[in-house]
Amino acid sequence: MDRSAALALIAHDLKNALGGLETELSQLIDEPSPVMAQRAHLHCTDLRRQFVQFLTLYSADREGLRVLCEDESPLELLEAMKRQWKLKLQVDGCPLEIAIRHPDLSPPFWYFDRRLVQLALDAAIHNATRFARRHVWLAVQREGEKLVWTVEDDGCGLGAQDPGQASATGLGQALAEAVAQAHRQGQRRGSATLGQSSEGGARFTLELP
Amino acid sequence: MGYQSSLSQLKALIVDDMAVQQTTLRGQLTLLGITDVDAAANADDAYRLVKSRRYGLILCDFNLNQKTDGQQFFELIREHGLLPADCLFFMVTAESSYISVASATEQYPDAYLLKPITAADIEDRLKSLLEKRHALLPVNSRIAKGELAEAVLQCDQLLAARNRWFMPLLQIKGQTLLKLGRHEEAQQVYKEALEVRPELIWARLGLARAHKAAGQFEQARQIAQDIVDSDDGARNVAAYDVLAESLEAAGDPEGAMWALRDAALVVPSARRHRISGECAYRNGDLDMAKASLTKATKASRGSVVDNPQDTLLLAQTLVDLGQPAEAMNLIRDGNKSYRTHPTFSQVSLAIKAQAEIAAGETDKAQATLDLARAGLSKGKADFATIALAKAEIVCGHEDAGMALLKEAISSDHENLRIKQLISRTLTDTGHEHQLDAVIESATAGLQGKVSDARKLLRDSRIDEAVNLIEAAAHEYPENTGVLLQACQINCMALRLKKEADTERVERIQDYLGQLERLMPGQDRVVMMRRYFRETLGMLDAHAQAQPH
């Protein structure tokens, strides 16, 4: 499927998700409840996140992604994301555990575009939480001249039946590839791959030069 | 102090033209425990608040729907010393404009926050920046106290850990070494940073500045040119500035003018148009000067970044272009806007007199000139003096005009920009044949005093040498060339006499203070400060070597 067809499909998904939110909000009018309001708010935030991903991908498709790299702490970013996702899973009543593996292997700093990497990892974590049975593991470490981020789950791995939106994985992966490609160092570029985890589930890898 | 309690003590300011957004941000800060929060809807109100209160955090929307945007507001308060080192400035931008805002900025705020913002976004950034501030405090507190050499030593200690703050420490160390005039070491620091990341713009820019400080203008120019030619650096105005400074220092003022014009295209702010316009005027490109200064006045009129000098120079440009009616209209409007400004009306009289002559109103011009003269006691190396000199010349008082120009050049005989302005004035008024007589003779007079003093010193007549140069410094207290020599000769006197004469040391400090006010951040002053420090170091070593 080419990029524009993928974008159209994703837009279709976003429209459906917006329909879901609309239903939640109309229910709230009939039976106002703080718990439901919080859930609707969370879904709205989630939808916004997907729109940002979609727009980022769309602009990457049109004019290429521009990165603004600063020295950042990779571990600090992972920890911030873990915090946000834990809260999100808690509000959704989802029993998944999200943890950082081998935090000591993270280099103290690396040059990357925090906003874009966060978008890509967010999409990967989002996918992992949809397939995982109990655990999602995050990790970041230096391998030679590369910084390697991984998001793993203990689901059924690649080829598992998608329990949710059909093309959400496609959006996340396309976005991660665009983010990886936009990170360059001399002749070297980043890459994003989806493979099998040793835990049985899927393993998302984002490598940055 | 714990992180949470440090948040609760932060005073915050929200600058946003949308009331709803102000309320949202205030709510998010409250969630983080920050409850002492002020809000302003525009840069003018925000400026007044920043002047009267000390904030620890400023959240400012980039798009304020006013003449002054968030970035200009940020640069203004920094320039005016209203942004304390411990105040964090967060720029809030829309997703769509983030790249263009962040890649074209001259000075970076502490963080960019992309709309819509959550409390978690603010908290994440605050937490990491407060950690950074804490980690760098041993260095920054020394810099704040002016203990630059100690700050460098502290950097070395912290750099040894090669931790999260390695690169910011290298950056601070490089900047501090440049401030100390230790450009050879600064070059090494920037090269070390470039080994980590070869394309790093701040390190390349630092390296260019270090070359420039060492007088290696061509290397500096090449590096700055490479930056502006690259994808990432094409919008980096600081690189354009280094490029222009290197070209100017290497004797290519026109090249500098074009570099500054390009910078104003990249960041079309009032400030950049002003810099470009002033340079174009000095170089005699009146069309470019008119275009740039018109943009500068339009972009800033009535706002906090408004600068009356833009209107004065634009009026002078219009007179020079033979458009006296436009110039007079501009001055009339300016006199309303800048009623309370201390010098606008006085300087504008000198330009008005020229415009009246150009319009054929000779009698009026004489009367205006009489009023203009009343405000100037002694000529200085500034635009006001040059404008009055020009008015004198075009009104037929050639001798008075020439005398003023001589006073201007004597006030600062090594100031290339004043020389450019004087040369323009003489050419415009058909007196280019007087160029040598005015510039060269005044310059020669002062250079004679300087070389006489240096000769006395060589003949070991130390006190006479010092007296001579100090008399010159007393007569021309704003002459940077004389002040630099007064510093150097006094330092040499300290070295020759091998004793720490407190009065002399204080006098040198006064001269250096005056130089820093007259030519802030310039390499020659930095190098003189280094020479002074080395002199004190030698005296110390000498004192310690003496038997007690």
pLDDT of residue B104: 64
Assign B106 a pLDDT band (cuts: 50, 70, 90).
low
Tokens of B525: 């002053």
In sequence order, which ranges of B270-428 are alpha helices (DSSP H)? 270-282, 286-300, 308-320, 324-337, 344-358, 362-374, 383-394, 398-411, 416-428
The rounded percent of chain B whose pLDDT value lies above 70 is: 97
pLDDT of residue B5: 66
* Rounded Cα–Cα distance for residues B70 and B90 (Å): 10
Say whether pLDDT at A72 is over 90. yes
Give the ipTM.
0.82
User: According to the 3-state scheme, what is the secondary structure of B164-190?
Assistant: CCHHHHHHHHHHHHHHCCCHHHHHHHH
pLDDT of residue B4: 63
Give tens-digit pLDDT for B266-290. 888 888 999 999 999 999 999 999 9
Q: How many CA atoms lie within 13 A of A153 on its CB side?
A: 20
B260 assigned to some structural domain: no
Interchain proximity B199–A73, CB inside 8 Å = no
Interchain proximity A185–B199, CB inside 8 Å = yes
User: According to the 3-state scheme, what is the secondary structure of B376-389?
Assistant: CCCCCCCHHHHHHH
Interchain proximity B164–A109, CB inside 8 Å = yes
Question: Nearest CA of chain B to the CA of A74: how many Å?
Answer: 10
What are the backbone angles phi and psi of residue B44, rounded to the nearest 5°?
A: -65, -50
Say whether pLDDT at A36 is over 60. yes
Q: What is the mean pLDDT of residues A147-151?
A: 97
pLDDT of residue A157: 74
pLDDT of residue A121: 95
Say whether pLDDT at A174 is over 90. no
pLDDT of residue B39: 95
* Rounded Cα–Cα distance for residues B231 and B228 (Å): 8
A-B CB pairs within 8 A amount to 36
A71-75, A182-186, B100-104, B421-425: range with lowest mean pLDDT:
B100-104
Q: Find out whether the peptide bond into B116 is cis, omega within 30 degrees of 0.
A: yes
Q: CB contact, 8 Å: A90 with chain B?
A: no
pLDDT of residue B190: 98
B374 assigned to some structural domain: yes
Interchain proximity B120–A83, CB inside 8 Å = yes
The whole domain housing A164 covers 3-208
Q: Which residue type occupies B267? A: V
Q: Which of A45, A108, A115 sits opposite B166 (nearest CB)?
A: A108
Question: Nearest CA of chain A to the CA of B93: how many Å?
Answer: 13
Give tens-digit pLDDT for B329-387. 999 999 988 988 888 999 999 999 999 999 999 999 999 999 999 877 778 899 999 99
Question: Nearest CA of chain B to the CA of A108: how many Å?
Answer: 5
Question: Nearest CA of chain A to the CA of B162: how many Å?
Answer: 8
B407 and B342 co-located in one domain: yes
User: In a 3-state reduction of DSSP, which class is residue A144?
Assistant: coil
Given a contact cutoff of 8 angstroms between Cβ atoms, the answer to whether A22 and A183 are in contact is no
Tokens of A34: 């703080």
B508 and B381 co-located in one domain: no
A170-184, B322-336, B483-497: range with lowest mean pLDDT:
A170-184
User: In a 3-state reduction of DSSP, which class is residue B415?
Assistant: coil
pLDDT of residue B2: 58
According to DSSP, the β-strands at B111-114 and B88-93 are parallel
* Rounded Cα–Cα distance for residues B493 and B474 (Å): 18
Stated length of chain B: 548
Say whether pLDDT at A87 is over 60. yes
Say whether pLDDT at B511 is over 60. yes
B419 and B473 co-located in one domain: no
The pTM assigned to this predicted structure is 0.83
Question: Nearest CA of chain A to the CA of B123: how many Å?
Answer: 10
State the best of B95, B121, B170, B230 to mutate against chain A, taking most chain A CBs within 10 Å: B95
Greater confidence (A91 vs A74) lies with A74
Residues of B in contact with A109 (CB under 8 A): 164-167
Interchain proximity B103–A48, CB inside 8 Å = no
Say whether pLDDT at B474 is over 80. yes
Give tens-digit pLDDT for B166-197. 999 999 999 999 999 999 999 999 999 999 99
B79 assigned to some structural domain: yes
Greater confidence (B546 vs B399) lies with B399
Q: How far apart are the first and last CA of chain A?
A: 28
What CATH number does the domain containing B92 carry? 3.40.50.2300
Question: Nearest CA of chain B to the CA of A159: how many Å?
Answer: 34
State the best of B93, B124, B159, B195 to mutate against chain A, taking most chain A CBs within 10 Å: B124
Assign A1 a pLDDT band (cuts: 50, 70, 90).
low
Beta carbons within 8 Å of B470's beta carbon, 6+ residues apart:
B486, B507
B438 and B314 co-located in one domain: yes
Interchain proximity B167–A71, CB inside 8 Å = yes
The whole domain housing B74 covers 1-114
Tokens of B194: 């470039």
Interface of B with A (CB under 8 A): 95, 98-99, 102-103, 114, 116, 118, 120, 124, 128, 162-168, 197-200
Taking CA–CA distances from A108, the nearest residue in chain B reads B164
What CATH number does the domain containing B431 carry? 1.25.40
Interchain proximity B124–A80, CB inside 8 Å = yes
Q: How many CA atoms lie within 13 A of B370 on its CB side?
A: 5
* Rounded Cα–Cα distance for residues A41 and A25 (Å): 9
Comparing CA positions, the residue from B121, B118, B71 lying closest to residue B91 is B71
B77 and B35 co-located in one domain: yes
Domain count, chain B: 3
Say whether pLDDT at B90 is over 90. yes
B149 assigned to some structural domain: no
pLDDT of residue B509: 95
User: In a 3-state reduction of DSSP, which class is residue A72?
Assistant: strand
Say whether pLDDT at A169 is over 70. no
User: In a 3-state reduction of DSSP, which class is residue A164?
Assistant: coil
pLDDT of residue B267: 83
Say whether pLDDT at B483 is over 70. yes
Q: Which of A48, A73, A108 sits opposite B116 (nearest CB)?
A: A48
Assign B103 a pLDDT band (cuts: 50, 70, 90).
low
B243 assigned to some structural domain: no
What CATH number does the domain containing A51 carry? 3.30.565.10
Domain count, chain A: 1
Interchain proximity A185–B118, CB inside 8 Å = no
B128 assigned to some structural domain: no
Interchain proximity A68–B166, CB inside 8 Å = no
B142 assigned to some structural domain: no
Give tens-digit pLDDT for B390-447. 999 999 999 999 999 999 998 888 888 899 999 999 999 999 888 888 888 888 888 8
Tokens of A134: 């109990």
* Rounded Cα–Cα distance for residues B212 and B232 (Å): 22
- Residue that finishes a domain, picked among B74, B97, B114: B114
Q: What is the mean pLDDT of residues B96-103?
A: 70
Residues of B in contact with A84 (CB under 8 A): 120
Q: What is the mean pLDDT of residues B114-143?
A: 87
Say whether pLDDT at B65 is over 80. no
Is the alpha carbon torsion for B412, B418, B420, B423 positive or negative? negative
Q: Which of B95, B102, B164 sits opposite A73 (nearest CB)?
A: B164
Question: Nearest CA of chain A to the CA of B124: how many Å?
Answer: 7
Residues of B in contact with A71 (CB under 8 A): 166-168
* Rounded Cα–Cα distance for residues B25 and B188 (Å): 44
Say whether pLDDT at A45 is over 90. no
* Rounded Cα–Cα distance for residues B256 and B259 (Å): 5
pLDDT of residue B58: 96
Say whether pLDDT at B389 is over 90. yes
Give tens-digit pLDDT for B218-266. 999 999 999 999 988 888 889 999 999 999 999 899 999 999 999 999 8
Q: Which of A80, A83, A111 sits opposite B197 (nearest CB)?
A: A111
